Chain A
């Protein structure tokens, strides 16, 4: 009990030092979904969304700080205020829109792709891996196939490589990156169209911030820098 009171008192006092600091926007990402976002060999967050986020912050004249959070709790931690923005390859869907708000999409809706070790796998009756809480997991669950879910994108690929799952369903750009890293893995079946494009997730009560990022995304669409960045990282089709 004493410890509780002591730490409460400490918490009340701590932070006074930073009280005058300029408001910083904290950007939450997963850091495990190349080429969208990943931790590079120097241990820093890197990828398409790192470059995009930094550019958007510059245009919106915001000071931004990057935060890594695992995918499972990425929405709860946004609404409880641990960071202010989700920028993690998150597709805009109706279910998510009920809990948080989205900026306009920064990549267009793109097909998701199946990948497997064998071209003849049964995509509607076999075992398909997908990441927990993604649009792909929702799609597989309804397709008639047996869905196996994993907490991280990397594990979905590993499940196919070690035979635990017949195929994996994920964003096309992630699948292509995985194919480059794993010999024997190939695209199978037809791509499926899911989601309404990828946008930044922002608290529903944070309309100002959303407007700033919306304007910044629009300016990058208008001057062509967004398309150039999409092409550089090969994350999706062009606007």
Chain B
């Protein structure tokens, strides 16, 4: 359950929904507790994007750097991470990884907090750790459970999208003309200096088209949140739009198409804004770079 934003209606005339008509009905309907909770889910999605995108980019950068390392184990780690995570279907990853992560953390806490526990942790189908090892604790308020769910979601999204970002950045690093790196070495730069001063500043121009695709996919992937128990905008559109009988204060027929239309507008606006932002980034990263192959500087 999302946060309940008070039982009192926002407008005073909403106290008895059964006598409302026309515009006043609509204004009361759109500001009831359920709708207010649904509006906050836009914030949840934006927050998820705002945290996941930089985290995935950082993971991708680390993965790409590791993959092109001269140290074999490091390079295998980087390549293994990108290959495995990209190969596993997202939905499997989301279902399996999150449950495994949650149970793994509870197991660690169980070992640390309840050393005298004698019963087995797995009993048939049940996964049982002592009360103090529960994550979050059973007695924690619901918002703590929701925040925990949100951050497992962020973490999972970051790992999945980090693998794709790693592959894009790996390719972008290779696209930077090799002659430039050799020239830099000839000028006496150390390997670290070549990497940070020559390679990294120039690779973004090659990475941006791929990264902008990835960003669009990330925006559209947020409904996967519901698999993890986080109520996102698509869940609410379906829940609010479904036909409501007289058991509800605001009965109405199946209105899902209108709610999904609103989502369409939201996603189109997101795409439009992202396109503008990426066009700007591309311009600034291309500044001073020679991008036509074969042309000698």
Contacts and interface: CB of A to CB of B under 8 A. Distances in A.
Contact of A80 (B7, B99, B137): B99
Contacts of A154: 238, 242-243
Nearest to A65: B142
Interface string B268-292: 0000000000000000000000000
B246 A180 contact: yes
A204 B34 CA distance: 35
Interface stretch (B101-109, B178-186, B198-206): B101-109
Nearest to B229: A69
Interface string A9-50: 001101100110111111000011011001111111100000
B37 A43 contact: yes
A66 B112 CA distance: 29
Classify chain A's interface size: 35 or more
Contacts of B136: 14-15, 18
A180 B245 contact: yes
B114 to A, nearest CB: 11
Interface in B109-133: 109, 112, 123-129, 131-132
Contacts of A41: 17, 32-34, 248-250
A161 B245 CA distance: 14
A19, A76, A182: residue with the most chain B Cβ atoms closer than 10 Å: A19
B139 to A, nearest CB: 3
Given A43-B5, A181-B246, A7 B155 contact: yes
Given A22-B139, A68-B1, A161-B254, A42 B124 contact: no
Interface residues of B, number: 62
Nearest to B129: A81
Contacts of A204: 123-126
A158 B243 contact: yes
B2 interface: yes
Given A23-B139, A42-B7, A69-B229, A80 B155 contact: no
Interface string B226-247: 1001010000001100111111
A81 B127 contact: yes
B125 A79 contact: yes
B247 A35 contact: yes
B86 interface: no
A7 B150 CA distance: 13
Contacts of B32: 41-43
A152 interface: yes
B8 to A, nearest CB: 9
Contacts of A39: 1, 34, 239
A96 B288 CA distance: 67
B108 A42 contact: no
Contacts of A158: 242-243, 254, 256
Nearest to A46: B247
Contacts of A44: 1, 4, 33
Contact of B1 (A45, A63, A84, A183): A45
B138 A42 contact: no
Contact of B108 (A12, A31, A68): A12
A7, A43, A45, A67: residue with the most chain B Cβ atoms closer than 10 Å: A43
11 contacts: A22-B139, A42-B4, A43-B4, A44-B1, A67-B1, A80-B102, A81-B106, A152-B242, A178-B245, A181-B251, A182-B253
Given A158-B254, A180-B245, 19 more contacts: A3-B55, A15-B134, A19-B132, A21-B140, A23-B131, A26-B138, A32-B239, A40-B34, A65-B141, A67-B145, A80-B99, A81-B129, A100-B125, A152-B242, A158-B242, A161-B254, A181-B244, A204-B125, A205-B128
